A and B are shown apart, each in its own frame.
Chain A
Amino acid sequence: AQSVTQLDSHVSVSEGTPVLLRCNYSSSYSPSLFWYVQHPNKGLQLLLKYTSAATLVKGINGFEAEFKKSETSFHLTKPSAHMSDAAEYFCVVSDNVGNEKLTFGTGTRLTIIP
């Protein structure tokens, strides 16, 4: 069984300050982990993925995430927020077995304050 918990439903940061979106996961196997972003009225776009290679994963638009097995976490960070980062972010886990289903977190809405 697999699950994912996004610890904050809403995060607000000022433009130019760091972003931290928190995600904890549960998985019976060695998981794959993803962050997807959804801009208003748009589909989901892959930001980055972890699939058992390097634990620090770099994605698009300056985002990165670190896989920490001991903490079962996969937090998303960015050093300096930009107005265009305002969106909803989903942390996603897959057990890599069976139908390789993706299990989505409930999402974190990121607001950027000018």
Chain B
Amino acid sequence: EAQVTQNPRYLITVTGKKLTVTCSQNMNHEYMSWYRQDPGLGLRQIYYSMNVEVTDKGDVPEGYKVSRKEKRNFPLILESPSPNQTSLYFCASSPQRGVIAKNIQYFGAGTRLSVL
């Protein structure tokens, strides 16, 4: 089954304790992205990756890191989490640019993070 898998689904942590949220897709998609969803703000892009070893900042990258060593995986790293990073996070993937189905992004089920 084609899917984007995020882990964990729920996470409670404390300020300053490094954490990683994993994201994996099995559709051979080149494009992957991370979003955070906050009430009244919709989804905002954190980082994206056009392909392996290619990553770039989205609208709200501060306090986050990503890596893209393999095509299928795109982990989100919070080196020193703070309470303002409490949010619902979504990973998404999309086929290569220029394909008819371009820009259709497939979303994971989300990771709800609470930073105390």
A positions within 8 Å CB-CB of B? 9, 32, 34, 36, 42-46, 49, 51, 90, 94, 96, 99-102, 104-107
Contacts and interface: CB of A to CB of B under 8 A. Distances in A.
B105 interface: yes
A49 B104 contact: yes
Where chain A touches its partner, the secondary structure class is loop
A11 B103 CA distance: 27
Nearest to B91: A43
A105 B50 CA distance: 23
A99 B92 CA distance: 14
A46 B104 contact: yes
Contacts of B110: 42-43
Interface residues of B, number: 26
Contacts of A107: 42
A99 B109 contact: no
Nearest to B105: A102
The 8 tightest CB contacts between A and B, nearest first, are A104-B42, A43-B107, A104-B43, A44-B107, A43-B109, A106-B42, A94-B103, A32-B103
Contacts of A106: 40-42
A100 to B, nearest CB: 5
Contact of A43 (B90, B94, B102): B90
Nearest to B9: A41
A99 B105 CA distance: 13
Interface string B25-65: 00000010001000011111100101000001010000000
